[in-house]
Amino acid sequence: MGLFSLTQELAIDLGTANTLIIHNDKVVVDEPSIVALDYHTGRVVAIGAQARQMHGKTHQNIKTIRPLKDGVIADFNAAELMLRGLIKKVKTSGSLFSPSLKMVICIPSGSTNVELKAVRDSAEHAGGREVYMIYEPMAAALGSGLDVEAPEGHMIIDIGGGTSEIACISLGGIVCSESINVAGDVFTEDIQNYVRQQHNIRIGERTAEAIKIAVGAAVPELDDEPEDFVVTGPNILTALPTSVTLSYSEVAYALEKSLVKLDAAVMKVLEVVPPELYADIVNKGIYLAGGGALIRGLDKRLTEKTGINFIVTEDPLRAVARGTGIALKNIHRFSFLMK
């Protein structure tokens, strides 16, 4: 029967940092959202993890591009090439013909009509026949196991690479939300700036990302302390190699300025949540999803700031992708959530 299977259903979490594709309830692609192109011909040299290894190490004939910035498509051509390449990685064995693609793609809740059109056009040019879109907080809520259709309030915070999405959900709709450009990329930049200003060492984006993963923290005191991270780079003044040891409390200090903005955005949404839903949220807690949820002590910090319990959802990196997959499987049931 697979020989004539002409429709392939894909759930795509098109993220600023990573793109995940779910096919037949399995994550079949989990790659960084980056593409390496030949500078002269525009031909694709590498996509995903392979292109990520080249990032910051290329010569003048190759350029690496991250097509998405702050959750939206910044380079239309690169996004299309990347999406096309990642879709090709989904195995289509057993089919005689190129399948027509039915896609559900998640998008930031603050997306404009122009941004929606850019995502839809990229997906259609990459082979999508039927393209549906779902808002990230809704996908994150579905992926966290929340009953979004129930007449009760749920609050979710999805901290991705480009945007942090904070939303109150009830009866299958977003009651109030806030989308801010303070997320993983900004945290990485904060670490780069801190190391440059405090230690006079120049580090690249990949090193800053490694620091964030190894010793990233939102509070200066943790019960389970990670080991210090040794970073080596050129001294800004002398260009000689310099090494310095970074502790998690230093990184917490580096991230403080951005985390304050996240605190403010959470409070802004809580201020406008209807009273009946507010009571539900206090009883159930607020869920954290996305890669940013893995920053140590973030749940503790937000709990102390608000007095409401914060819960890190299971496997937060894949929560949005899981929710997009659930929406794809139940496309008729959740059609009212689609754009």
Query: pLDDT: is 259 or 173 the higher one?
Result: 259
Q: Are residues 127 and 247 located together in one domain of the fold?
A: no
Q: What is the pLDDT of residue 97?
A: 54
Q: What is the pLDDT of residue 335?
A: 66
Q: Are residues 240 and 135 located together in one domain of the fold?
A: no
Q: What is the pLDDT of residue 336?
A: 59
Please tell me the least confidently modeled range out of 14-23, 83-92, 316-325.
83-92
Q: Are residues 29 and 101 located together in one domain of the fold?
A: yes
Q: Which residue has the tokens 């009760």?
A: 152
Q: pLDDT band at 107, cuts 50/70/90?
A: confident
Strands (E), the chain: 7-14, 18-23, 26-32, 35-38, 44-47, 62-65, 68-69, 72-73, 100-107, 128-135, 154-159, 164-170, 173-180, 229-234, 241-246, 286-289, 310-312
Residues 5/97, Cβ–Cβ less than 8 Å: no
Q: Are residues 227 and 238 located together in one domain of the fold?
A: yes
What is the average pLDDT across 164-188?
92
Q: Are residues 103 and 213 located together in one domain of the fold?
A: no
Q: Are residues 199 and 249 located together in one domain of the fold?
A: yes
Residues 313-336 pLDDT 10s? 999 999 999 999 999 988 877 765
Residues 198-253 pLDDT 10s? 999 999 999 999 999 999 999 999 989 999 999 999 999 999 999 999 999 999 99
Q: Are residues 19 and 132 located together in one domain of the fold?
A: yes
Domain range for 102: 2-33+70-139+320-337
Return mean pLDDT, the chain.
89
What percent of the chain has pLDDT above 90?
63
Is 304 a domain residue?
A: yes
Is 58 a domain residue?
A: no
Is 272 a domain residue?
A: yes
Pick the last residue of a domain from 254, 270, 293.
254
Q: Are residues 230 and 288 located together in one domain of the fold?
A: no
- What is the b/e burial string over 222-237, where b = at least 16 CB atoms within 10 angstroms of the residue's CB? eeeeeeebebebeeee
Domain CATH code at residue 237:
3.90.640.10
Q: What is the pLDDT of residue 74?
A: 87
What percent of the chain has pLDDT above 70?
94
Q: Are residues 191 and 249 located together in one domain of the fold?
A: yes
Flag whether pLDDT at 92 surpasses 60: no
Domain CATH code at residue 96:
3.30.420.40
Please tell me the least confidently modeled range out of 58-62, 137-141, 261-265.
58-62
Pick the last residue of a domain from 236, 254, 272.
254
Q: Are residues 79 and 189 located together in one domain of the fold?
A: no
* Helices 205-215 and 184-199, packing angle to 10 deg: 100
Is 207 a domain residue?
A: yes
Is 162 a domain residue?
A: yes
Neighbouring CB atoms inside 10 A of 47's CB total 25
Q: pLDDT band at 1, cuts 50/70/90?
A: very low
Quote the number of domains for the chain: 3
What is the average pLDDT across 261-279?
95
Q: What is the pLDDT of residue 2?
A: 47
Q: What is the pLDDT of residue 187?
A: 96
Q: pLDDT band at 289, cuts 50/70/90?
A: very high
Q: What is the pLDDT of residue 55?
A: 86
Q: pLDDT band at 93, cuts 50/70/90?
A: very low
Is 283 a domain residue?
A: yes
pTM above 0.85, yes or no: yes
Q: Are residues 82 and 191 located together in one domain of the fold?
A: no
Q: Are residues 89 and 200 located together in one domain of the fold?
A: no
Neighbouring CB atoms inside 10 A of 63's CB total 16
Q: What is the pLDDT of residue 64?
A: 92
Closest CA to 254 of 180, 312, 203: 203
Is 109 a domain residue?
A: yes
Is 169 a domain residue?
A: yes
Q: How far apart are CA 198 and CA 190, in angstroms?
A: 12
